[in-house]
Amino acid sequence: MKRWLRDIAFTSVFLCRAEHVEELELDLELLQQRMVVQPSKKALPMYWVHVPKTGTSFANVLIHQPGFCQVDKDFLLDEEHMGECILADFIDKLCWDDCDPQHLQCSEHVHECLGTKFFEVEGRMVGMFRQPEQRLLSMYYDEQHNFFNYSFCGERSQPNPPLSVYKEMAAGMATLMLTVDCDLVEHQFYKFPPCTRSMAEEAVRRVSGFAFVGITEEWDLSVCLFHAMFGGSCHASEFENVRPGSKATENGYDTSVLEGFRDEFDGMVYQEALRIFRHRASGGPADAGHAGHAGNAAHAANGTWGFWPFAAAGAGALSRTVMRGLKDRVKKPVSVKSAMIRRLGKWRLMKEFDMRKQINDDPMMATRCGKSQAELLEDFNVASNYLKTRLGLDDQSAEICISKVATGLNMQHLGKPDIPSNETMDTVMGWLSENLEVSEADGSLKHIIEQYPFVLGRSIDDLDESQNFCPEDIDFKVAVADDPALIDKTYNCQGICASQCVACWYNG
């Protein structure tokens, strides 16, 4: 991080804690000008997404924003003013009673999950993100909260399980909160659906929908960035840790107790949040903090971000996979088989790919689609039966294919499925047969659909685009037959990155 930016953070903190409050606004304005942060478009009313143990203190930043809440400038949201249930009292009382709903949208519950609400609040979300293993240990050592046998703001009804068990069960919490409909007050961890890579990739995509992304480990700088983006004066209370961990040191928690355990999926989410935070803190526009949704997930998973994701990347480096052909390409696990997970020695269908169960269990899903539950279920049955009849898929494979395409590659239709019609699928399969030289007779068309069901949701324009942009040194028919996921490559930067990596052939 640039030295001057770090100096600005330290200077700003000093100013915010200074006694001469009348000088603070002018000083902060000068600091904002030096940071050269481009103010984001208004993101009102703001909606706070609070992943557990990322910083209850952020509430003090929100309540002191001009026009947000009717509180004294010296008010501190802490145990002295709110009791030990700081967050619960803020969500259930102060926010609803003393805050303007045109500026701050109150959540319904403490640690409310995003799930399908994402589509309502996208572009208005604010939140802090924390290094996953540090956050996990902070939860484990928390004396007031038991996130397994939930006892919020009180003594634990039961002790936490051993850390060796806890770490496995608590992994992926940030990912789940960003993608699943849930309420941590009502849902205990062991009742959550298993966290999957597809969920993590969707969570990575959703981080780009935050109007503000802060980093717990960079608290002071995060507060400065917030004010640089949205205005308002900083207050000393915004730098106070109102709920410090009892076993944390100055350098955080000792992660050696985890014995090398890493929260892979939340790690992907954190890396994306960290990248966006650095991008915006360096002066990048708030609405250009991503280089492609699924592409972000891939980079985060591979740990290949670096400080600036695409700086100094030459054409030779970007075209490495292309020059070497298809053998170097890492294929994504998106086939029908990827919908299964092994539990207790048996393969079971993951919940997010069981559309029939989702429709039956969630009546609101049909409502969101403008249909009755029976009508939505009939659409699902018709589409599944079409694949069984036309391609000879078994019942489970056909239903998984429709569940996948209806949910979307990045789970963008989660909670509001987009089930393809028979006419759409017929058109797509006709294009595949004509342009890839695959057929129903030899089972090659069936193989394509089983390997990459999402192709059934693509338009003819998308398919033509992919073929037209395919580099000359790649045989389109061979490439897509080998890896059908390449059908989503609809861009070619010619080796000079244009931040379209998720769709670019040069991204492998």
So what's the pLDDT on residue 306? 27
Domain limits of the chain? 41-302, 336-507
Residue 267: pLDDT over 90: yes
So what's the pLDDT on residue 341? 60
Percent of the chain with pLDDT over 90: 27
Fold of 41-302: Rossmann fold (3.40.50)
Q: Which residue has the higher pLDDT, 327 or 394?
A: 394
- For residue 446, give both structure tokens: 């069936």
- For residue 218, give both structure tokens: 């960079």
So what's the pLDDT on residue 507? 59
Q: Which residue has the higher pLDDT, 194 or 463?
A: 463
**118-153 residues labelled b (16+ CB within 10 A) or e (exposed):** beebeebbbbbbbbbbbbbbbbbebeebbbbebeee
- For residue 229, give both structure tokens: 């983006």
So what's the pLDDT on residue 28? 47
So what's the pLDDT on residue 105? 93
Mean pLDDT of 279-304: 49
Least-confidence region, from 137-141, 153-157, 160-164, 453-457:
153-157
Instruction: Give every CB contact of residue 480 below 8 A, 6+ residues apart in sequence.
Output: 436, 448, 466, 486, 487
Residue 283: pLDDT over 90: no
As beta bridge partners, residue 127 has 213
Q: Give the position of tokens 């403008």.
A: 370
Report the range out of 32-36, 109-113, 194-198 with the highest average pLDDT.
194-198
Q: Which H or E run includes 342?
A: strand 340-343
Q: Which residue has the higher pLDDT, 240 or 309?
A: 240
So what's the pLDDT on residue 25? 45
So what's the pLDDT on residue 284? 62
Q: Which of 230, 194, 195 minimizes the C-alpha distance to 210?
A: 230
Q: Which residue has the higher pLDDT, 74 or 458?
A: 458
State pLDDT tens for residues 302-339. Answer: 333 222 222 222 323 223 333 234 444 444 555 666 66
Residue 244: pLDDT over 90: no
Q: Which residue has the higher pLDDT, 72 or 420?
A: 420
Give the confidence band of 81 by pLDDT, cuts at 50, 70, 90. Answer: low
The three-point CA angle 249-261-272 to 5° equals: 80
* Mean model confidence pLDDT for the chain: 75
Identify the three-state secondary structure at position 99. Answer: strand
SS3 content of the chain, % helix, strand, coil (to 5): 55, 5, 40
DSSP string covering 201-267: HHHHHHHTTEEEEEEGGGHHHHHHHHHHHH-----GGGG--SS--SS-BTTB--GGGGTT---HHHH
Give the confidence band of 465 by pLDDT, cuts at 50, 70, 90. Answer: confident
Q: Which residue has the higher pLDDT, 160 or 392?
A: 392
Mean pLDDT of 243-264: 78
Residue 144: pLDDT over 80: no
So what's the pLDDT on residue 338? 65
Q: Which residue has the higher pLDDT, 228 or 494?
A: 228
So what's the pLDDT on residue 103? 92
Interatomic CA distance for residues 42 and 231, integer angstroms: 11
Q: Which residue has the higher pLDDT, 338 or 214?
A: 214
Single-letter code of the amino acid located at 176: L
Identify the three-state secondary structure at position 287. Answer: helix
Residue 145: pLDDT over 70: no
So what's the pLDDT on residue 189? 52
State pLDDT tens for residues 21-74. Answer: 444 444 444 444 444 444 454 688 999 999 989 988 899 899 989 889 998 877
Mean pLDDT of 85-107: 84
Residue 164: pLDDT over 60: yes
Cα 173 to Cα 83, 198, 252, 313, 458: the distances in Å are 26, 14, 19, 34, 32
So what's the pLDDT on residue 4? 44
So what's the pLDDT on residue 332? 52
**309-337 residues labelled b (16+ CB within 10 A) or e (exposed):** beeeeeeeebbebbeeebeebeebebbbe
Contact 480, 486 (CB under 8 A): yes
Q: Which residue has the higher pLDDT, 228 or 331?
A: 228
| Paired sense of beta strands 104-105 and 125-129, if any | unpaired
So what's the pLDDT on residue 262? 93
Least-confidence region, from 80-89, 251-260, 376-385:
80-89
So what's the pLDDT on residue 203? 95
State pLDDT tens for residues 425-451. Answer: 999 999 999 998 788 888 889 988 988
| Paired sense of beta strands 346-349 and 340-343, if any | antiparallel
So what's the pLDDT on residue 110? 74
